[in-house]
Amino acid sequence: MAETFDSILGSKDLDVVMVNLLADKFNALKEREGKADVRENTRAIKRLFKEVPKIKEVLSANKVASIKIPELLDYVTLQIALPREEVEQAASGIFDRIGTPIDTALAQAGLTADDIDLVELLGGGVRTPKVVEHLEHKLPGKNMSVHLNGDEAMCFGSAFIASNSSSNFKVSQIFMTNLCKHSIKMKISPLNAEETMSVEEQQQEGIEEADIINYYQEFDLFNTSDYMGKSKGISLNYNKNMKVELFKKDKDDIEELLDTFLFEDLEARYKSAHDFQKNEQTKAKKKAAKKKEKEANKTASNSTDDAEVEAPKEEASPEDDKPVPNPKVKLSVEFSRSGYMQISKASVGYKDGHTQFLDPKHVRHEF
């Protein structure tokens, strides 16, 4: 129904806060008076980053952590008692951001906290008591359930999803609904604009409305309510080599280019499909004419009248002068579970007739 996240918030942010807190305490030691900030020493800071995860584990179960880092810098040892409350105060700005994705997700889904029946916590960050406290504040009265190993659950889930996608493995079916994080838009344009005419120019040329081609088209493919792993098909009239661009749109309608596909063989395959269909239509006309002639001759030979029977003249059927319809270009765009966009199928041809497959060229972009 909804999926949101803070892409720049994680446990590493808490690590940075704790390293700075420990650095300040080390600089405040009597032995460090008048000396350079410990942050200027790369080796010392690396040691602090190495010790912080251990300190977090202690503070997750205890209100105070006893810290001793021998000879951190210049033979000076950092030995202090660090209260959990002091860390939480220093990292208050980080903890205050925990509830924002919850508010956004509820708003997108059109729900309130009262509509939530069960909360399942995943990830190592839930071992931090302050994180659970903020979650309970945002979702009052809800039991913060931890039925799965937070570190292993995502790995196991990914392995099952990958196994379900392969025919080489036989495992339990694990279903996942992962929503698109952005709206996806498709833009189509000709590779050689000088070879095309605008809609107005085609109308002035007297081209029938059904045969007029808009060489610049846009389609909204996916929105934030669509799930990943879904495919969508598009059918259009197009007879020139074209460029297909896929963009993502954020909530402010700002577009960012994701992928580009070049159809450099479209014009040739379009003509080939049209010519093939035209030949098939001509053959069908000749076959129908022969059948009519044969039936007329049979009728004449079976006549009991001795007089010469004149075969009826064949009148041209409206179907005989009907022009060959234009082939349709069909594209199937897949939004994979991995978040990648791809054109899984592309063809030009007729619904019940000849069809030729296209070979789009994927243009890689550097981000």
Tell me the mean pLDDT in the region 74-90: 95
Sign for the pseudo-dihedral over CA of 246, 162, 176, 101: negative
Name the CATH topology of 183-269+325-363. Substrate Binding Domain Of DNAk; Chain A, domain 1 (2.60.34)
More confident residue, 50 or 284: 50
| pLDDT reading at 165 higher than 90 | no
What is the pLDDT, as a whole number, of residue 55? 95
- pLDDT bin (cut points 50, 70, 90) of residue 353 is confident
Identity of the residue numbered 338: S
Nearest to 15 by CA among 128, 157, 122: 128
Name the CATH topology of 11-95. Actin; Chain A, domain 4 (3.90.640)
Tell me the mean pLDDT in the region 153-177: 75
| pLDDT reading at 367 higher than 50 | no
What is the pLDDT, as a whole number, of residue 313? 53
- Enumerate residues 6+ apart whose C-beta is below 8 A from 165: 337
- Enumerate residues 6+ apart whose C-beta is below 8 A from 160: 171, 172, 174
113-134 pLDDT, tens digit per residue, is 888 888 888 877 778 899 989 8
What is the pLDDT, as a whole number, of residue 312? 52
What is the pLDDT, as a whole number, of residue 172? 73
- Could you state, in order of their start, the residue ranges of all structural domains in the chain? 11-95, 100-164, 183-269+325-363
Buried b (16+ CB within 10 A) or exposed e, 234-264: beebbbbbbbbbbbbbeeeeeeeebbbbbbe
Q: Is 199 left (phi over 0), alpha (psi -120 to 50) or beta?
A: alpha
- Mean pLDDT score across all residues of the chain: 85
Identity of the residue numbered 153: A
- Enumerate residues 6+ apart whose C-beta is below 8 A from 132: 121, 126, 144
Place of tokens 């063989």: 265
- pLDDT bin (cut points 50, 70, 90) of residue 308 is low
- Using alpha carbons only, give the angle 156, 152, 59 rounded to the nearest 5 degrees: 165
- pLDDT bin (cut points 50, 70, 90) of residue 315 is low
Least confident of 254-263, 286-295, 354-363: 286-295
Strand order in the sheet with 242-249: 217-222, 183-190, 242-249, 255-263, 361-363
What is the pLDDT, as a whole number, of residue 320? 54
What proportion of the chain, given as a percentage, has pLDDT over 70? 92
